[in-house]
Structure 1
């Protein structure tokens, strides 16, 4: 393929930033409408739809769990660019399947395909590690988080608006965005991994899920960091799993309101990721930044669980947004614990943790919400559980610092 350019720089980062932003807009377009489409298949039964949304989440996560380590190792062998391009093409075709889905079974098949094809996020992180010095990676990961936030500003707002017209229209929009992204990447996205830094062959012992988990456990600091990241992922699964159903049931928000609030969430995340991560890491370091972000997340989820009105719920958004400080700091710490030719492997392995959490979180959160709705109870238990998980993540993050100190003392 053309556009072979291995020089790090702002232009290469801009290319991957735009690629991720377009991916996230496509994903965000569907968020306000996918649960509502499932509700329509279930004849308006929110309790039944809550359980099915959980199964959809598990299916997507299972495919991530299986395929992300493989794709990470493939990107270490063949480069980041072909993995990103094939991912975009696969997602575009998948959204067409979901747009045309005549039954719940076809919609479920679409989620399976999207889980297998969604490789560009972890590969994008490896791309950033390729082109950025170690001491600047947290800031770049923060900017990449800004691309995620930008996608969630525009995507849900577009999806909410289109969903008011037709619940299937956002899927067509997502398909168009993904295929446009593939064309963009083909013509302008440069490769980031030079041939001399690639593995000589696919390292299959770390390309499958068991091998990738062993890779993460090869030293104490990386194992503890992986545990902290996993718990943070597990807490995060509460947001896509029940946000729409929770706010629709408790605060009676329609698709447009949900889309607007999700856009507000994305805007807050963008401000944190693009505007605060670099300054925080520069002044306080990666580990303290991660710990502060986790503490804000704990407070935010407690507020979500207890908020009696939609206004109070919205008022807690800044706290959950500040939790976004932790993600880039985590990613920067992980890249320091992997070699130049292992960045795709470590990102794929970490993505497999997201797959594991995705198989546990959606079913847990949706079943809790379904149980609360069926019993006439006040919902909020799912977000209380998310707060507890982030508190445990904070404990493991503190242990990472102690492990690093012990390793330095031993050296």
Structure 2
């Protein structure tokens, strides 16, 4: 330990990895704020182009375009970050986002608005690169906790973004887009000035055919321990589209909620979800292991969805919100397990595939659950929640295998301790 001139021990310094982690979490939070800023004013912006009759169609198309470009490009950017570094790909992503928001702020034509969303989808790799970066600077025991922090940072950013965007949009319709561009530029500057490239094993330069989304999915899906986790992640992401698509409609139709009640309930869920991910994920994973944490998160999610399906009053939704928020511990645990089943040279490819699957779910989920809700609304409007919970049924064999593996590891650990003793 170093000493001061007086002979007293010098205070401990934080490791560079801690500073890098703090910067990555700040980047994720600022990126989420930028995404959320534009949500309250996008309908009014489309309305300013004279699209009153087709407003919902264009809003859906812009959302789908972003998700589609993410699905196509996220694995390629992840693979490129494995070879050429996390830092340059992250800088490219943040710069692209800043240009996208600036283009949307100034766009005089609808076609430029679509071009901006396509650009944002292509360059929007900050989440996948952040996940790979966390894997690079964390050992296996730290990853679940730190992925929980990453999820919480993103979730809190999504809560703050619409609030700020609504306030700015009241002053000028395009002000949230300018603010989002400024945040992305600030993110870029922080990463440029202070974010180091993590020390890790570099992958080889990918061939052009390896940059298509299905190549990385096929290659990683061949890993026997990883394939079930990828399918479980897809099920988790698809189920997560139910509240994002239907919460406002469900609340209004079943309980007569007004927009204020819908907003407050969503904010409460967002805060609880972030708290579970930030404070509970690490402790539960360290106590019970990532596999049991993942299974517990899935069970909590299913129980929350069934509570929503059969809730009779607005007050009975509260336990469902708590259960669904508790399900948030499953995602970070799954990310931690996936990263340990992938070699260090392909962490970026893994995160790119996960981002691609999430984008695919964002395209398919709203269409499927919207159709399910419309089909059942004349009889019972809880079917979408039941279908969302049922998505986990095909994953039961994988979940049972994970639990058996966790019990086997625990038994071997007890046996080793007994032998040593």
* Normalised TM-score (structure 1): 0.84
How many pairs does the alignment contain? 396
Of the candidates 153, 160, 176, which is equivalent to residue 154 of structure 1? 160
Q: For residues 135 and 69 of structure 2, what CA distance do their matches in structure 1 show?
A: 25
Displacement, 1:188?
1.6
Q: Determine if the alignment matches structure 1 residue 230 to structure 2 residue 234.
A: yes
Q: For residues 273 and 312 of structure 2, what CA distance do their matches in structure 1 show?
A: 24
Q: Determine if the alignment matches structure 1 residue 340 to structure 2 residue 344.
A: yes
Q: Determine if the alignment matches structure 1 residue 189 to structure 2 residue 195.
A: yes
Displacement, 1:285?
0.7
Cα separation, partners in 2 of 1:328 and 1:74, compared to 1, 3 Å: same
Displacement, 1:376?
5.8
Partner in structure 1 of residue 284 of structure 2: 280
What are the residue-to-residue correspondences of 1:217-366 with 2, within 5 Å? Answer: 217-244=221-248, 247=251, 251=256, 253-254=258-259, 259-307=263-311, 312-313=316-317, 316-366=320-370
Q: For residues 199 and 387 of structure 2, what CA distance do their matches in structure 1 show?
A: 40
Displacement, 1:352?
1.9
Cα separation, partners in 2 of 1:158 and 1:294, compared to 1, 3 Å: same
Query: Contact between 1:80 and 1:191, CA under 8 Å: does it hold in 2?
Result: yes
Partner in structure 2 of residue 383 of structure 1: 385
Query: Contact between 1:64 and 1:352, CA under 8 Å: does it hold in 2?
Result: yes
Of the candidates 112, 116, 138, which is equivalent to residue 118 of structure 2? 112
Ranges in structure 1 where 5+ consecutive residues have no aligned partner: 1-6
Query: 1:221-245, CA deviations, whole angstroms, 9 ceiling, x for partnerless residues?
Result: 2111111011101111234334455
After the TM superposition, which of the residue ranges 325-334 and 219-228 deviates more from structure 2? Answer: 219-228
Cα separation, partners in 2 of 1:406 and 1:353, compared to 1, 3 Å: farther
Query: Contact between 2:67 and 2:363, CA under 8 Å: does it hold in 1?
Result: yes
Displacement, 1:178?
1.4
Q: For residues 215 and 54 of structure 1, what CA distance do their matches in structure 2 show?
A: 32
Q: For residues 170 and 310 of structure 1, what CA distance do their matches in structure 2 show?
A: 32
Q: For residues 377 and 362 of structure 1, what CA distance do their matches in structure 2 show?
A: 20
Q: For residues 167 and 248 of structure 2, what CA distance do their matches in structure 1 show?
A: 15
Q: Which structure carries more relative contact order (alpha carbon 8 Å, separation 6+)?
A: 1
Cα separation, partners in 2 of 1:86 and 1:157, compared to 1, 3 Å: same
Displacement, 1:68?
0.7
Cα separation, partners in 2 of 1:64 and 1:76, compared to 1, 3 Å: same
After the TM superposition, which of the residue ranges 359-368 and 280-289 deviates more from structure 2? Answer: 359-368
What are the residue-to-residue correspondences of 1:361-372 with 2, within 5 Å? Answer: 361-369=365-373
Displacement, 1:51?
5.5
Query: Contact between 2:23 and 2:190, CA under 8 Å: does it hold in 1?
Result: no
Q: For residues 93 and 262 of structure 1, what CA distance do their matches in structure 2 show?
A: 30
Q: For residues 24 and 135 of structure 1, what CA distance do their matches in structure 2 show?
A: 26
Ranges in structure 2 where 5+ consecutive residues have no aligned partner: 1-14, 411-421
Displacement, 1:35?
5.6
Q: For residues 209 and 359 of structure 2, what CA distance do their matches in structure 1 show?
A: 19
Partner in structure 1 of residue 184 of structure 2: 178
Displacement, 1:393?
4.1
Displacement, 1:154?
1.6
Partner in structure 2 of residue 4 of structure 1: none
Displacement, 1:306?
4.3
Q: For residues 22 and 77 of structure 1, what CA distance do their matches in structure 2 show?
A: 26
Query: Contact between 2:168 and 2:176, CA under 8 Å: does it hold in 1?
Result: yes
Q: For residues 214 and 28 of structure 1, what CA distance do their matches in structure 2 show?
A: 33
Partner in structure 1 of residue 220 of structure 2: 216
Q: Computing the radius of gyration over CA atoms, which structure comes out larger, 1 or 2?
A: 2
Partner in structure 2 of residue 3 of structure 1: none
